[in-house]
Every structure is written in C-alpha cells, then in structure tokens.
C-alpha cells in the first residue's frame, strides 16, 4: 500500500475514534448536566409540594373553626375557610403545573399529588356535610372522621415527597442534609397541626378530651419532641449557616416556648373539666401563628438545599463545558497534526520519491523544488539536487565515452584514406548480410577488383596521385552501387563489392558496369594532363555451403587472378568473362 493511502486510512480511523470518543464523553457530560437540572428541578418541586401540603394543613384550622360553629354559622369563619381553601387550591394548581412542565417527568410525584387532590375533595365534602348539621347533631366520631380525612391528604402526599427527595439526593448528596432537615420541619409542621386538631372535637362539644384524643395528643407530643431533637442534631452538626441557626432559634421561641405551653394548658383543662377559655377559632388564632416559625425553618432549609444544588449544577455545567471545549480542542489539534504531517511529510515524501525514481530512470529535466522549511526533508531535497548534478555529469561522461567508443570502432572499421569500410569493417557487415540472405534463401554475389598497374601510377606520378586515384575510385563505386551493397577497401588497391539479392549473372553485369565507369574516369594530374585507369574484377556467388565470407573472397580472388592473367580490364566469373570491347 502506498504511504499516501496508508496515511489516509490511518487518519480516517484515528479521526473516527477520537471524534466518537470525544462525542461520547461530551454527551455523557451533557447528560449529567440535564440530570442535574432535573434534580435541581426536583428540589424546586419539593418546595412547591411542601407549600401545597402546608396549605392543606393550614386549611384544617378554619375547617375546625367551622366544625365548632353552630348553625346558621358565622359568615366570617366560613369566609376564612373559603380563603384557606382557595390558597390550597392555588398551591396545588401551581404544584401540578410545575410537575406537568418538568423537564424530567416524575410519575412517582405526579400520581400521589393527583390522589391527594382527590382526597382533599373528599375531605372537604365530609367537613361541609358535618358543618351543615346543627352542632348538637354532630357526633364526635363524625367530626373526628372529617378531621382525619384532612390528615389523609398529607399522608397521600408522602410518596411524592420521598420520590422528589431521593431524586435530588442522588445528584446532590451535599444537599441531602438540608433536604432531610426540611422534610423533618415539614413533618413537624404537619404533626404540630395534627396536635392542634386534636382539640377540635373537645372544643366544639365543650367536653373533656376523649380517650382517642388523649392518646393522640400524647403520641403527637412525642413525635413533635422527637422531630425537634432530630432537627437540632441535623442543623447543629451539618449546617453552620446563620440563616438556618436563626430560623431554628425562632422556631424554638415561637413554637416550643410559646405554642407548646399553650397546648399543655389546654390539655390540662381538657383532661379535667372541659371548661376551656377558648373556642376552636380562638384556639386556632392563638396556636396557628406560632407554627409559622416551623414553616420558615422549612423554607430556609429548602433554600439551603437549593443553593447547594445550584452550586453543584454550576460545577457539573462547568465540567461539561470544559469537556466540550477540551473535546473540540482535541479534534482541532488532531486535524492540525494530521494536516501538518500530510503537508510536511507525506506529500513531500511522495514528490521526493517521484524525483528520485525519475533521476534513477535518467530523466534529469525535472526541477528539484526549493524546500519551504529547514527540516530533514530539506536536507533530502538538497541531497537530491546534488545527486541530479552528479547524474547529469555522469550522463555527459557516459555520452562522451560512448561517442569515443563509437569513434574508435568506426576508425578501426574504416579505411582512413577512402572512408570506406576496411577489411575488418567489411567482415562485420558481410557476415551479417550473408547470414540473413542464407536464412531467407536470397542470392548474394561478391565482386573483388584490383586497379591495373597501380604500382606504375605511384612510381610515375607519386603516391599522392596514387592516393587520389584510390579516393576517386572508391567514390565512383559508391556512387554506382545500389543502396544495400557493401563497398569496401580490401587492402592496397583492392576493393570488394558485396551485392545482396543479386545473382551471379547480375553481379557480373554490375561489376562490368563499374569496370566501365573506372575505365571512363579521367583523373587530372598536377603536372597537367589526365590519367586513365582500368581495373580487373573477379565475381563469385556466395553459396549456401559457405560458412563464412572468406571462402567466397578466396574464390572471387581466383577469378580476379584469372582476369589479370588473361589481360586485365575485364570481369571474370565462374560462367562468363566480360571485357572491354
Ligand atoms: N599510393 C598508394 N599506393 C599504394 C597504396 N597501397 C598499395 N599501394 C601500392 O600499390 C602497388 C601495387 O602494386 P602491385 O601489387 O605490383 O600491382 P600492380 O602494379 O597494380 O600490378 P597488377 O596488379 O598486376 O596490375 C604497390 O606499389 C603499392 O605500394 C596506397 O594506399 N596508396
């Protein structure tokens, strides 16, 4: 696999891995954020729910007032009950609206709230029914039943309170203490309300406390004390906030130091005589306001939980933002790294490889690019530039050497005087032709000729004239031979003409044509006048049995000898003699 493709593949896999891992952790972090928002919402819902429960509790006061009122009924008491009921309805409506709009649905809270509302309607109907009779016709059990139906509203809300508290605690363990304390305060408010309600029957009937009320008062007093202790422990050990401590102190002053002694005084009266100094409305007016300190404590504690949770949400949010920012930075860094590697390593490496292989193949016309950066690849490019220079120099040397070799070979194969192939050159060319002709069955004929009385020319006119005669004859033979014929100087004043695709007869005719041209030649002499020359030819056909050209030359040479012997200036072959007429 090419490096470029490998790099692309690895980059793709690496990018996919990093992107999916980053997306996974960022998504996880944002899931934590939305879960934390849901938990914060749960605390807010708990706050609204506790208010709704408190309103339902508060409604019992005016309800008790109406229950203790004789017909036709005090309009002011009825108006107070209506106002209380309107407040409760409004609180439940706010609660249901908040739960319906929740970002994370809480069926564990919504269902009990709906059930509590149904219970509230039933309890109100029971109270209204009881209050519609004359006071003397209202039995104690009937009044007790109506009051306990109102208690049932708060009991029904219990699972919703637990669900919302648990939801908040899982995400914000640090807020757990404040939440538990807030629930304790809410419970305290409820039990304090129930404690007050125990006097409704006795105050309405102006009778001593019944056995059931006495037991309930004892039990509720115990619970109230227990809750006070638990609240003291929780707020003393785990909360040092001034607001909580102030709310605790207020609760101690108002409820435990004021309302509880009042309850104890009414209890003492209820145990002995039943001659109470207050009626139900007066009891409520004296008792209920002191319970507000408990509600304030509850609100301060819920607020503390909300502050803790908001701080926790901020931390989770910040962490998620860092994760997202870090993830994006990681992806950007990876992209930058891959881009840099591709730009500064992979791509230049590919070009460098192309350059080196081009130089190796002898293509030296490519430009070696100037390096953009002072790095290792720049050193490689510089080395390649030097390598190319060396290769160019080597190529020049190589060409020079080849030229010299060719020149040397040409010189060793060429006759320096006439420029014709010499004996060695002729043998090289002729052997090749002979082999080819024999392979394809074509005829080849060889003529050898020798200038007549050449010694005399030298002796009479000098070697320079002799040389120019040889040059002229060579040029004449080349001029009148077919292309493909090989004309060579065999030695001294002897020449060879090898004629491929030529029969013996045609070869003899061609030799005779050359003879005539030589005979017709006029060579001007330096001292004036002209020189006539003639030549004698021996012609032989190459036979398929001839392994080399030497045999044919030898046979043609015999014919030449015959031509010389028989008077010169003629052509002699094995089947004919052609001579000057
Ligand atoms: N000028 C010159 N003469 C050469 C050259 N090569 C050989 N010769 C001369 O050619 C002459 C050949 O003479 P011979 O062999 O006696 O033959 P010839 O005089 O031609 O007589 P025949 O061949 O019998 O007709 C000699 O004198 C050689 O010196 C050369 O390159 N230049």
CB 491 within 8 A of CB 474: no
Claim to verify: residue 167 and residue 285 sit in the same structural domain: yes
Hey, is 548 helix, strand or coil? coil
Percentage above 90 pLDDT, the chain: 68
Taking the centre of ligand 1 as the mean of its atom positions, its distance from the CA of residue 493, in whole angstroms, is: 6
In a domain, 187, yes or no: yes
Measured from the Cα of 417, ligand 1's closest atom is: 31
pLDDT value at residue 332: 95
Phi-psi region for residue 370, left (φ > 0), alpha (ψ -120 to 50) or beta? beta
CB 220, CB 83: distance < 8 Å: no
pLDDT in tens, 70-92: 888 899 999 999 999 999 999 99
Question: How many Å apart are CA 10 and CA 402, to the nearest integer?
Answer: 50
Please determine, for residue 237, whether its predicted confidence score (pLDDT) is greater than 70: no
Q: What is the DSSP string of 494-540?
A: EEEEEEET--HHHHHHHHHHHHHHHHH--EE-TTSSEE---EEEEEE
Kindly report the protein residue whose alpha carbon is nearest to atom 16 of ligand 1. 455
Alpha carbon nearest to ligand 1 atom 10, residue: 455
Would residue 440 count as lying in a domain? yes
Band (pLDDT 50/70/90 cuts) for residue 543 is confident
Distance 481 CA to ligand 1 centre (A): 24
- Cα of 535 from ligand 1 centre, angstroms: 12
For strand 570-573 and strand 535-541, is the pairing parallel, antiparallel, or unpaired? Answer: parallel
pLDDT at residue 325 in the model: 94
- Can you read off the two tokens belonging to residue 96? 């249901």
Q: What percent of the chain has pLDDT over 70?
A: 99
Q: Which of 492, 531, 563, 564 to mutate to test the pocket of ligand 1 (most atoms within 8 A of CB)?
A: 492
At residue 378 the predicted structure's pLDDT band, cuts being 50, 70 and 90, is confident
pLDDT at position 238:
54
Nearest-10 crossing angle of helices 176-197, 140-171: 180
Mean pLDDT over residues 280-292, rounded? 90
Distance 491 CA to ligand 1 centre (A): 10
In a domain, 254, yes or no: yes
Q: Which of 328, 352, 381 is the C-terminal boundary of a domain? A: 328
Query: Token pair for residue 124?
Result: 């109100």
Examine the domain organization and report whether 323 and 451 are in the same domain: no
Residue 471 alpha carbon to ligand 1 centre in Å: 14
Residue where a domain terminates, one of 264, 298, 328: 328
What is the C-alpha radius of gyration for the chain, rounded to an integer number of angstroms? 66
Taking the centre of ligand 1 as the mean of its atom positions, its distance from the CA of residue 454, in whole angstroms, is 5
- CA–CA gap between residue 65 and residue 140 (Å, rounded): 15
pLDDT at 569: 96
Query: Does pLDDT of 579 surpass 80?
Result: no
Q: How close is the Cα of 292 to the center of ligand 1, in Å?
A: 154
Q: What share of the chain is helix, strand, coil (3-state, %, to 5)?
A: 75, 5, 15
Nearest protein CA to atom 6 of ligand 1, as residue: 492
CA of 470 to the centre of ligand 1 (A): 10
User: What per-residue confidence (pLDDT) applies to 240?
Assistant: 59
For residues 422 and 313, state if they share a domain. Answer: no
**pLDDT tens string 393-450:** 888 998 999 999 888 877 789 999 999 999 999 998 998 888 888 888 889 999 999 9
Q: Mind spelling out the 3-state secondary structure of 186-244?
A: HHHHHHHHHHHHCCHHHHHHCCCCCHHHHHHHHHHHHHHHHHHHHHHHHHHHHCCCHHH
The residue to mutate among 416, 455, 489, 570, having the most atoms of ligand 1 within 8 angstroms of its beta carbon, is: 455
Same domain, 457 and 319: no
CB 64 within 8 Å of CB 147: yes
Structure tokens that stand for 10 in this block: 């690895």
Distance CA 433, CA 486 (A): 9
Distance 459 CA to ligand 1 centre (A): 9
* Closest protein CA for atom 8 of ligand 1: 492
Residue 399 resides in a domain: no
Spacing, Cα 490 to ligand 1 middle (Å): 13
Distance CA 176, CA 273 (A): 47
Nearest C-alpha to atom 24 of ligand 1 is from which residue? 453
Angstrom distances, CA of residue 333 to CA of 15, 18, 29, 337: 11, 11, 21, 6
Q: How far away, in angstroms, is 580 Cα from ligand 1 center?
A: 22
Structure tokens at 290: 């002191």
Ligand 1: list residues with CB < 6 Å: 417, 450-456, 458, 463, 466-467, 470, 492-493, 564
Residue nearest to atom 9 of ligand 1 (CA): 455
Closest CA to 176 of 295, 302, 51: 302
Ligand 1: centre distance to CA 542 (Å): 27
Is residue 304's pLDDT more than 80? yes
pLDDT band at residue 350 under the 50/70/90 scheme: confident
CA pair distance 152, 144, nearest whole angstrom: 12
Is 546's pLDDT higher than 90? no
Please give the number of the atom of ligand 1 that sits closest to the Cα of 465.
1
Answer yes or no: pTM beyond 0.90: no
Helices 242-251 and 211-238: crossing angle, nearest 10°? 160
Task: Please determine, for residue 14, whether its predicted confidence score (pLDDT) is greater than 70.
Answer: yes
Same domain, 279 and 426: no
Q: Which residue has the higher pLDDT, 201 or 512?
A: 512
For residue 537, the domain's CATH number is 3.30.70.270
Ligand 1: atom nearest CA of 450 is 23
**Which of 458, 494, 533 gets mutated to test ligand 1 (max ligand atoms within 8 A of its CB)?**
458
Cis peptide before 72 (omega within 30 of 0): yes
Residues 297 and 435 in one domain: no
pLDDT grade for 275, boundaries at 50, 70 and 90: very high
In a domain, 371, yes or no: no
Q: Is residue 33 part of a domain?
A: no
Contacts of 435 (CB under 8 A, 6+ apart): none
Q: What is the mean pLDDT of residues 197-209?
A: 89
| Full domain range(s) for residue 75 | 39-328
Query: Can you give the pLDDT at residue 372?
Result: 81
Q: Is residue 342 part of a domain?
A: no
Q: Domain total for the chain? A: 2
The Å distance, Cα 494 to ligand 1 centre, comes to: 9
**Which residue's CA lies nearest to atom 26 of ligand 1?**
455
What's the pLDDT tens digit per position in 42-56? 999 999 999 999 999
At 578, which helix (H) or strand (E)? strand 577-579
On the 0-12 / 13-18 / 19+ scale of CB atoms within 10 A, 336 is exposed
Residue 534 C-alpha to ligand 1 middle, in angstroms? 13
* Atom in ligand 1 nearest the alpha carbon of residue 459: 27
Pair 436, 307 in one domain: no
* CA-nearest residue, atom 31 of ligand 1: 492
* Torsion of the alpha carbons at 103, 107, 110 and 111, rounded to the nearest 10: 170
Looking at the structure, tell me whether residues 60 and 169 fall in a common domain.
yes
Query: Which atom, in ligand 1's list, is nearest to the CA of 462?
Result: 1
Given a cut of 80, whether residue 349 has pLDDT beyond it is yes
What does the H/E/C string look like for 114-151?
HHHHHHHHHHHHHHHHHHCCCHHHCCHHHHHHHHHHHH
Last residue of a domain, one of 328, 354, 388: 328
Tokens at 25, concatenated = 């952790």
Same domain, 422 and 324: no
Angle at 255 between CA 58 and CA 217, to 5 degrees: 70
Q: Cβ distance 58 to 287 under 8 Å? A: no
- Asked which of 149-153, 182-186, 271-275, 359-363 is least confident by mean pLDDT, the reply is 359-363
**Ligand 1: which residue has its CA nearest to atom 5?**
492
Whether residue 581 is predicted with pLDDT greater than 80 in this model: the reply is no
- pLDDT, tens digit (0-9, with 9 covering 90-100), for 451-480: 999 999 999 999 999 999 999 999 999 999
Do residues 443 and 567 share a domain?
A: yes
Residue 309 forms part of a structural domain: yes
- Residue identified by tokens 């029904």 is 156
Mean pLDDT of 198-215: 90
Model confidence pLDDT, tens digit, residues 356-375: 888 888 887 778 888 888 88
Ligand 1: residue whose CA is nearest its atom 4: 492
Are residues 152 and 265 located together in one domain of the fold?
yes
């Amino acid at each position: 696999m090419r490096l470029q493709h490998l790099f692309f593949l690895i980059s793709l896999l690496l990018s996919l891995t990093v992107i999916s891992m980053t997306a996974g952790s960022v998504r996880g972090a944002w899931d934590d954020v939305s879960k934390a928002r849901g938990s914060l919402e749960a605390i807010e819902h708990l706050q609204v729910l506790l208010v709704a429960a408190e309103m339902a509790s508060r409604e019992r006061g005016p309800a008790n007032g109406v229950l203790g009122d004789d017909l036709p009924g005090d309009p002011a008491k009825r108006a107070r009950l209506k106002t209380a009921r309107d407040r409760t309805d409004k609180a439940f409506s706010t609660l249901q609206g908040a739960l319906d709009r929740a970002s994370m649905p809480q069926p564990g809270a919504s269902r009990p709230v709906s059930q509590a509302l149904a219970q509230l309607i039933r309890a109100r109907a029971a109270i209204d029914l009881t209050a519609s009779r004359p006071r003397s016709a209202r039995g104690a059990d009937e009044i007790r039943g109506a009051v306990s139906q109102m208690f049932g509203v708060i009991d029904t809300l219990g699972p919703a309170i637990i669900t919302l508290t648990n939801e908040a605690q899982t995400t914000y363990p640090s807020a757990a203490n404040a939440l538990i304390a807030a629930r304790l305060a809410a419970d305290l408010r409820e039990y304090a309300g129930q404690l007050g309600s125990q006097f409704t029957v006795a105050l309405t009937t102006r009778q001593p406390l019944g056995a059931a009320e006495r037991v309930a008062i004892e039990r509720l007093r115990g619970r109230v004390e227990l809750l006070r202790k638990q609240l003291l422990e929780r707020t003393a050990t785990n909360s040092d906030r001034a607001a909580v401590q102030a709310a605790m102190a207020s609760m101690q002053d108002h409820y435990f130091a004021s309302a509880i002694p009042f309850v104890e005084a009414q209890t003492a009266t209820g145990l002995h005589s039943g001659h109470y100094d207050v009626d139900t409305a007066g009891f409520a007016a004296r008792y209920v306001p002191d319970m507000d300190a408990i509600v304030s404590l509850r609100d301060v504690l819920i607020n503390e939980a909300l502050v803790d949770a908001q701080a926790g949400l901020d931390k989770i949010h910040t962490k998620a933002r860092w994760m997202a920012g870090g993830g994006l930075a990681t992806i950007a860094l990876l992209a930058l790294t891959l881009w840099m590697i591709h730009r500064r390593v992979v791509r230049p490496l590919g070009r460098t490889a192309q350059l080196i292989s081009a130089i190796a193949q002898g293509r030296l016309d490519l430009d070696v690019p100037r390096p953009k950066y002072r790095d290792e690849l720049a050193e490689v490019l510089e080395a390649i530039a030097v390598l190319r220079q060396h290769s160019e120099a080597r190529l020049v040397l190589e060409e020079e050497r080849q030229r010299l070799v060719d020149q040397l070979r040409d010189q060793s194969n060429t006759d320096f005087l006439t420029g014709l192939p010499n004996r060695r050159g002729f043998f090289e060319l002729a052997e090749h032709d002979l082999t080819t002709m024999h392979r394809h069955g074509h005829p080849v004929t060889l003529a050898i000729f020798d200038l007549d009385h050449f010694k005399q020319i030298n002796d009479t006119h000098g070697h320079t004239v002799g040389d120019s005669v040889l040059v002229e004859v060579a040029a004449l033979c080349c001029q009148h031979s077919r292309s493909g014929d090989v004309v060579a100087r065999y030695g001294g004043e002897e020449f060879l003409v090898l004629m491929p695709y030529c029969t013996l007869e045609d070869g003899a005719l061609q030799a005779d044509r050359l003879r005539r041209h030589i005979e017709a030649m006029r060579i001007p002499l330096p001292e004036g006048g002209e020189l006539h020359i003639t030549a004698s030819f021996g012609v032989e056909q190459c036979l398929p049995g001839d392994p080399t050209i030497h045999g044919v030359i030898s046979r043609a040479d015999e014919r030449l000898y015959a031509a010389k012997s028989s008077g010169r200036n003629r052509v002699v072959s094995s089947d004919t003699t052609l001579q000057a007429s």
